[in-house]
Amino acid sequence: MTRSSFAPPTADLAHVSVDAAGDVSTTPPSRPHAAVHAARDVPVEELAAKILAGDRSTLARAITLVESKKPEHQAKARALVQVLLPTTGRAHRVGITGVPGVGKSTTIDQLGANLTAAGHKVAVLAVDPSSTRTGGSILGDKTRMERLAVDRNAFIRPSPSSGTLGGVAAKTRETMMLCEAAGFDVILVETVGVGQSETTVAGMVDFFLVLMLPGAGDELQGIKKGVLEIADMIAVNKSDGDNAARARMAASEYRAALNIMAAKSSSWTPPVVLISGLANQGLDAMWGEVETHRTKLEATGEFAERRRVQQVAWMWSMLEERVMQALRHDARVAHRLHDLEHGVRDGKVSASIAVDEIAGLLGI
């Protein structure tokens, strides 16, 4: 057993704490950044071997390394991901989105518990670029997944807490790969359904699930059409008790809305299902659809192709980030960027002339 840092299922959550690596334990938190230092001091090969052996405290420390802003930590994290690359890609990656309060955490907790009971190892990650979470609310997040937080076949990691959406997503991707190397065969990535984060998460998973509330009449208006375009399935959550009839109506409205949209794949029509994350209703059937999707798209080669396309898109988005970062720190343009930006803001320099000058300074 290498899972000593996790509380046993009977632990009283009131005593649970979270260390700098975001790992749950029943002992007081360690020094801030101690985990980064620990991972920094361990050679890449040793980190890799421990992760491959399923050592979850090393996994948590390696993720902290991935999330570190220090260039030397980032370089080491990249080296680690590269070493582990052949052992990644094995998990079924599923993104889950929905408006705040739709029941993402509740559903993931129950679905995850069902999956670990069926023999899976489940990692739950999050992408929330707006997050300014402190240790306290990380704990809050974990306790909202009470079952998974104490399930030794589950691993919960909150969103990296700062940076651009692209930056947060890049870290989540690398974290996903580390989790795969550590033997997790289902990765659930939660993102809140606001802004651009859904599109970003859809770009890193095999299946994208959108949770909706009963009462589509009002809700359809507020839904960005874009989210329906990227959905592989819609699940109307909270379809329990008094909500059942409204949930059925909502489901038929979503079916109609999906019907008039161009299909993403000729081998898959996004289904609309009714679930209750709270009451554990419909979750097995819902997961059955996720597996059917995989079987069908594997048969046509679309499954592997989607991943290939994602890998290349990821390379480009990282390259863009890196190039922009280099540009902002480039000594040749540093002294002009400020003035040019102000000139453009004040309407004294046209944007295209400013770009010409910057490009000229860079020799491109």
Ligand X SMILES: Nc1nc2c(ncn2[C@@H]2O[C@H](COP(=O)(O)OP(=O)(O)OP(=O)(O)O)[C@@H](O)[C@H]2O)c(=O)[nH]1
Residues that bind ligand X (CB under 6 A): 98, 100-106, 144, 192, 237-238, 240, 276-278
In the complex with Mg ion, which residue's Cβ is closer, 105 or 200? Answer: 105
Minimum CB–partner distance for residue 90 and ligand X (Å): 27
From the list 102-110, 258-266, 300-308, 335-343, the region that binds Mg ion by CB under 5 A is 102-110
Minimum CB–partner distance for residue 284 and ligand X (Å): 15
In the complex with Mg ion, which residue's Cβ is closer, 64 or 159? Answer: 159
Answer yes or no whether residue 105 interacts with Mg ion by CB under 5 A.
yes
Answer yes or no whether residue 159 interacts with Mg ion by CB under 5 A.
no
In the complex with ligand X, which residue's Cβ is closer, 64 or 243? Answer: 243
Answer yes or no whether residue 106 interacts with Mg ion by CB under 5 A.
no
Is 191 in contact with 95 (CB distance < 8 Å)? Answer: yes
With H, G, I as helix, E, B as strand and everything else as coil, classify residue 94.
Answer: strand
Minimum CB–partner distance for residue 230 and ligand X (Å): 18
Q: Please enumerate in sequence order all residues whose Cβ is within 8 A of that of 190, keeping only pairs 6 or more positions apart, or say none.
A: 96, 97, 104, 105, 108, 124, 125, 126, 127
In the complex with ligand X, which residue's Cβ is closer, 68 or 239? Answer: 239
Is 16 in contact with 139 (CB distance < 8 Å)? Answer: yes
Q: Are strands 24-25 and 186-192 parallel, antiparallel or unpaired?
A: unpaired
Is 65 in contact with 37 (CB distance < 8 Å)? Answer: no
Minimum CB–partner distance for residue 167 and Mg ion (Å): 21
| Rounded Cα–Cα distance for residues 25 and 22 (Å) | 9
Minimum CB–partner distance for residue 141 and Mg ion (Å): 7
In the complex with ligand X, which residue's Cβ is closer, 99 or 297? Answer: 99
Task: Give the residues across from 274 on adjacent strands.
Answer: 236
Residue 95 to residues 102, 113, 292, 345: CA-CA distances in angstroms?
Answer: 15, 17, 16, 39
Site residues for Mg ion per CB under 5 A: 104-105
